[in-house]
Structure formats: structure tokens, C-alpha cells
Chains A and B, each alone.
Chain A
């Protein structure tokens, strides 16, 4: 079984500061994928970034980067220069390549303060 742990239920960050959202995972699979999604209050689930377990370099997508530490089973999301529009729930998820099941964490509610 796979598990995602997000230990920060809520975070308040000043606008323009960098933010790190924590994610640790547990899996017995050798190959897997790690995702971060953003869910604003309107409800849609927006893909942010993906990291494959076999990728040696950390993934980056614009202001988003994924700090992947495989030995620690950690996949933290870093948002640089936070903006008011970044206020949302953020979910970390792991994909089992074998059964195609995407397992989500409980999420972190990020609030950006002007």
C-alpha cells in the first residue's frame, strides 16, 4: 500500500516570500510518480508539477519546483515569490505504476497574506 503524509494542515505566508510545502511518502514500489496539485476554493484540481522516481534532477515548472529526496522519501513543493492567487489547498499524490492508482495526501491549506 502507498501512503502520502502532509503534516502541515495550514500555512500562512507573506506575499512575495518563498513557500515550502512538505510531503513524505511510503511505497514499496521501485518505480513511481509524484504529483502536486492545487485546488482553489472553486474546486477544480490543477496540475502543478510531476517527478518520476527515476528522474535524477528535481522537476521545475515556472515558480514551482519539487525538492525530491528519494532516500528520505520526501517530495516537497517549493513556490518561489508567492502571490495572492497561490492561496489554495495543495495536494501531494503518488502514482503506483503497476495499478495506476493515484493516492493523495490530506492536503495543506496555503493562505498568502498581502
Chain B
């Protein structure tokens, strides 16, 4: 158990819908990352938050947004869903966004299927 908690574990939704994925980082970790894993694109970095503020942005679509709340949990919002958004979405956390050798731990992922 990595200590990173993601909900829901599985989600099936229709095209055009909106979903929210939730992540609770490890106790004491201030930095949260979101990744998408799909068969055709592999593992892609989406976005990172550190202590409530956006720190880095990757290949995140405009239809997607995220935030980190004062209690450090994070949510990834996916809207106007398309079939191609079906993927495994990972949340990860680390102690310090100013990386200095701290390990990045991943949650178990949220499987999203868009039908």
C-alpha cells in the first residue's frame, strides 16, 4: 500500500459526460501529480500541484482541469468525455515539489471507460 488513495477505482460513463476523480496524497506529502495511461499513448504526465498551487503542466487537454484543496487532496475533472479518454488515471504524491530525492508514490489508479 503506497498510502496514496484514489477514488473511484472503476468508472463507466457515456460520451459527453463529466466525471471527477479524487486523490488523497500520502500523509505529509505536499505535492500531487496526475498521470494518464492509455494503450496508444503510454504514461503521460498531466499536471502537478504543490501545496495548493499549480506547479507544472504537461499534456493536459483543455477539457480537463484539476485542483488541490487546503487539506491537500486533489481532484481531476474530465468533461465532454470522448471515447479516447478511456484510460487509467493515476495520482501520485511526494513530500516536496522542489525535488531533492524524495520518492514519488502512485495510487492504484482510477480506470475510466467512456462508452
Contact = CB atoms under 8 A, between A and B. Distances in A.
Interface of A: 33, 35, 37, 42-47, 50, 52, 91, 93, 95, 97, 99-104, 106-107
Nearest to B59: A101
Contacts of B70: none
- Tell me what chain A mostly uses at the interface: helix, strand, loop, or mixed: strand
Contacts of A46: 2, 106
Nearest 6 interchain pairs by C-beta: A45-B106, A104-B43, A44-B108, A100-B56, A99-B56, A97-B99
Interface of B: 2, 31, 33, 35, 42-43, 45, 48, 50, 55-56, 58, 88, 90, 92, 97, 99-101, 103-109, 111
Contacts, number: 58
B43 A91 contact: yes
Nearest to A97: B99
Given A100-B56, A104-B43, A106-B42, A47 B103 contact: yes
